[in-house]
């Protein structure tokens, strides 16, 4: 099963900037990276009047927009799907899934904290891998500064390699 690591923290803490750097580094190392932005307040990628919106309005349960370099699926859902369902869509297409958000999920977490903000551990479910903190901290988990992106990437690479080794072991065991 593909590992998911969630970058969590308050708005404007630097999550997106850190994720951009981590994704770029992992890609330069040859990894296939999936990224998910959790937007609990909703979003709209098919504005009224556009073809995809018109198809949905006409009753289509699922709509796709396909071009030479991209594919996009739009599905109306009655409730937000669990992250495990989304992982199933990404499975076998990526080596790691990085999310921005999903603080209450059971995924592994990298907490991003800006100066002056306290870490409220009770706000987060799942294993806390590290904290990216822009000042010194007394945290028990490893703490990196926003400039320590190599250390954050190495932490994620370790997770990917562990997952790939486990997957290869299971495949080898299944074929014996």
- What one-character DSSP code corresponds to residue 29? T
What pLDDT was estimated at residue 45?
Answer: 73
Residue 52's SS3 state is helix
What pLDDT was estimated at residue 165?
Answer: 61
Domain residue extents for the chain: 3-40+80-175, 45-79
Q: Residues 127-144, buried b or exposed e (16+ Cβ, 10 A)?
A: ebbbbbbbeeeeeebebb
Quick: pLDDT tens for 28-63.
999 999 999 988 777 667 778 889 889 988 989 889
CATH number of 3-40+80-175: 3.40.50.300
Q: What is the mean pLDDT of the chain?
A: 80
Question: Rounded to 5 degrees, what angle do the CA atoms 22, 28, 30 make?
Answer: 105
DSSP 124-176: --S-EEEEEESS----SS-EE-TT-HHHHHHHHHHHHHHHHHHHHHHHHHHH-
What pLDDT was estimated at residue 128?
Answer: 78
Mark the ranges of the chain whose per-residue pLDDT is less than 50.
Answer: 136-138, 173-176
What pLDDT was estimated at residue 34?
Answer: 94
Kindly list the distances between the CA atom of residue 6 and the CA atoms of 53, 103, 116, 173, in Å, as whole numbers in the listed order: 30, 7, 22, 30
What pLDDT was estimated at residue 168?
Answer: 58
Pairing of strands 108-113, 96-100: unpaired
User: Looking at the whole model, is its pTM more than 0.85?
Assistant: no
**Closest CA relative to residue 4, chosen from 42, 24, 33:** 33
């Amino acid at each position: 099963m593909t590992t998911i690591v969630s970058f969590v923290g308050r708005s404007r803490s630097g999550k997106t900037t850190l994720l951009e750097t981590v994704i770029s580094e992992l890609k330069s190392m040859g990894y296939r990276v999936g990224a998910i932005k959790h937007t609990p307040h909703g979003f709209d990628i098919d504005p009224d009047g556009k073809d995809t919106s018109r198809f949905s309005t006409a009753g289509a349960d699922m709509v796709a927009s396909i071009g030479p370099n991209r594919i996009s699926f739009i599905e109306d859902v009655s409730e937000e799907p669990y992250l495990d369902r989304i992982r199933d869509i990404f499975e076998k297409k990526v080596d790691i899934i990085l999310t921005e958000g999903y603080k209450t999920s059971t995924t592994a977490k990298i907490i991003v904290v800006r100066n002056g903000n306290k870490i409220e551990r009770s706000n987060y479910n799942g294993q806390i891998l590290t904290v990216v903190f822009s000042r010194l901290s007394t945290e028990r988990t490893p703490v990196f500064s926003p400039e320590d992106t190599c250390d954050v990437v190495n932490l994620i690479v370790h997770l990917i390699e562990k997952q790939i080794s486990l997957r290869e072991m299971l495949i080898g065991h299944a074929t014996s």
